[in-house]
Amino acid sequence: MLSARPASILIAAIVASLFLSGCGPVGQDAVTAATPASPSQPSKTAVAVPVPSVVAPMPAIGTAATAISPRTSVYLKPGGAIKLSLVSPRPSGAPLTFLVVQSIDGWLEVNLPDRPNGSRGWIDASAVSLHSLEYDLRVSTEQNTLTLYRNNKLEKTYSVATGTGGTPSPRGSFYLTELLAPTNAGYGPYAFGLSAYSEVLTSFGGGPGQIGLHGTEDAASIGKSASHGCIRMSNADITALATELPLGTPITIE
């Protein structure tokens, strides 16, 4: 049932601050489009990022589904009423990606990249291509750490910044929905968009308050509760993850 991830998928990111809850310095909310970038040579003016190809050894820790048509219908139940219709690519230019929960008779229950947090729905399995996942991320808001696991084995633990008391990072199980290359100084060289949304900010910078996992120019904030809800990493650390993690990778925030 599973297939290898396509060798290369380009994610064209247009305006990062429209999709991520504002975690950069105050006043740095605008991002502009420019030319493609390579993860090995990050550029502040880059907006198209190649997502790594992953062929996961068994046992895989999950399955991601990528839309293969311009519009995907999401159903309340297999063969039931349509809940919503989502377009691909997403507004950022990223391919529409879901994290699969379960499969029943040609239908997939999936986590949705939409409010409210934890939203699920059903999609026709023929509407997507499937690929195995081997990585997952686990964030501790108490310790301000992010831990990378590969097939449930610890790979590395990173120091990060998480949300403040007034704008906490939402807790729950989410996944990586897109990879952006911001052009402003506040978000570092790369930013993953998550399926998580701020539970305090319903909008930010003209966008819906989407949570991101991104770099930062404020190195002193790493290891603290300092963001508007996003997960901040050092620029070196987010660059390393940008070369490894495919869309659909699960991330748990506790």
For residues 161-184, one letter each, b for 16 or more C-beta atoms within 10 angstroms of the residue's C-beta and e for the rest, the string is bbbeeebbbbeebbbbbbbbbbbb
Q: Which of 23, 131, 228, 230 is catalytic?
A: 230
pLDDT tens-digit readout, 156-186: 999 999 999 999 999 999 999 999 998 777 8
- The answer to whether 11-53+135-253 and 62-133 have equal CATH topology is no
Please check the confidence at residue 113 and state whether its pLDDT lies above 90: yes
Amino acid in the structure at residue 9: I
Question: Are the CB atoms for 200 and 167 separated by under 8 Å?
Answer: yes
Whose structure tokens read 């991601």? 64
Identify the helix (H) or strand (E) that includes residue 235: helix 235-242
> Which residue's structure tokens are 């420019």?
34
**Catalytic residue status for 228:** no
Domain-wise residue ranges, the chain: 11-53+135-253, 62-133
Q: Which residue has the tokens 């993860």?
A: 39
pTM over the 0.85 mark = no
Alpha-carbon span 146 to 124, nearest angstrom: 34
Residue 103 CB burial class (10 angstroms; 0-12, 13-18, ≥19): middle
Q: Is the pLDDT of residue 66 over 90?
A: yes
Which H helix or E strand runs over 216?
none
Q: Lowest mean pLDDT: which of 50-64, 68-82, 84-98?
A: 50-64
| 23 belongs to the catalytic site | no
Given a cut of 60, whether residue 212 has pLDDT beyond it is yes
CA atoms of 167 and 77, how far apart (whole Å): 34
Nearest to 44 by CA among 187, 176, 179: 187
99/62 Cα distance (integer angstroms): 8
Q: How confident is the model over 37-50, as pLDDT tens digits?
A: 333 333 333 344 54
Chain centre to alpha carbon of residue 200: 19
In this predicted structure, which of 28-42, 85-99, 149-163 has the lowest mean pLDDT?
A: 28-42
Exactly one of 23, 131, 214, 228 is catalytic; name it: 214
The CATH topology of domain 62-133 is SH3 type barrels. (2.30.30)
CA angle 141, 198, 231 (to 5 degrees): 40
- CATH code of domain 11-53+135-253: 2.40.440.10
Kindly give, in sequence order, each residue whose CB lies less than 8 Å from that of residue 202, ignoring residues fewer than 6 positions away: 208, 209
* pLDDT, mean of residues 86-94: 94
